[in-house]
Chain A
Amino acid sequence: MNAPRKVALVANCLLNQNAKVCQGAHYRGVVSPVVEALRRRGYLLQQLPCPELAFAGVRRWWAVYEQYDTPAYRDHCRRLAQAIAPRIEEYLRRGDEVILIGLDGSPSTGVRFTSSAPDWGGRPNRPQDDWQIVPRRGIWIEELEAELARRGLPRLPATGWALDMGRFDEAGSRRDLDEFLDGQENAAASPREDPAAP
């Protein structure tokens, strides 16, 4: 059997800022601090699909969790999850270490935090910062994790790059990511059970 690998499932827009909602991009193309941190530690990168891009398009408005929390969008996310889950399952079954790097603050790809404003809707004329950051998964991550659970797979270690938290703090985001990845290395150095064992 081949040696286990380190695989990072990466939010689509962390590898392609063109996928961000208008005015949401902070980098030209790749979010290089994330890629550098992962590559430095030997991770293979597996880009996840962007559910918002394929659902609402490149010219979509900004939105919060509650606006994307619709049966149609959840169904769309489930279809994407069903497309990518077999590959994730393959990684886990062969013993690879798999982690998930999402986008904190995103209504779809948030891991530790998502954006919330229960009264948003209608004409998009809300003032800046008129939303809350709440500790919750985004819709896409919720549906992806549900699909993995349906397949009997363990919950993946996950964190988010805090790009959609209102005021982006790159230095803080680097520290968070390094801390998370260091924690993974320490956990991997300890004896553990096969995470995909039945």
Chain B
Amino acid sequence: MSDDARGWRIALLLAVIADQVAEYAHHGYAVVAIGVRGEPGDGLHWRRLAPLLRHRGAPLPPRHVIRPEGEASTEAQRLATFLAGYDLPPEEQRRWRV
């Protein structure tokens, strides 16, 4: 597959993902992006995904990248800390959560 064809394929998939992320965000879901180091674009293709999210008016989710070469329990703790440290802004929480 040529680079152009591969790029087009990824662009289509990222557009689909952006639509879904935008839909979740629009309804008050706390969305995060979790990638994997070593995958193409860390598995997130952030430089391409972020403009698609902005175009849809979706806030950019905070990102976290798993390090597969790292020790599993350390990576699990890093991920847990990341997840525990993020939530919607207070005004959004008040809007969506009774």
Contacts of A50 in B (CB 8 A): 20
CA gap between A86 and B19 in the complex, in Å: 19
Cβ–Cβ contact A54 & B12, under 8 A: no
Knowing A18-B29, A57-B27, A90-B1, the reply to whether A83 touches B15 (Cβ < 8 A) is yes
Residues from chain A with a CB closer than 8 A to the CB of B29 are 18, 58
Binary B-proximity of A63-104 (CB < 8 A = 1, otherwise 0)? 000000000000000011011101100100000000000000
The one of B13, B15, B24 that contacts A18, using a Cβ cutoff of 8 Å:
B24
A-B contact count (CB 8 A): 38
Main secondary structure of the interface of B (DSSP, over half): helix
In the complex, the chain A residue whose C-beta lies closest to that of B29 is A18
- B16 CB-CB contact with A under 8 Å: yes
| Chain A residues in the interface with B (C-beta under 8 A) | 18-19, 49-50, 53-54, 57-59, 79-80, 82-84, 86-87, 90
A-B CB proximity, top 8 nearest: A83-B12, A86-B9, A54-B19, A49-B16, A58-B27, A83-B13, A83-B16, A54-B20
With A84-B16, A86-B5 given, can you name 20 additional A-B contacts, CB distance below 8 Å?
A18-B29, A49-B17, A49-B20, A53-B20, A54-B19, A54-B20, A54-B23, A58-B24, A58-B29, A59-B27, A80-B16, A82-B12, A83-B9, A83-B12, A83-B13, A83-B16, A84-B13, A86-B1, A86-B9, A90-B1
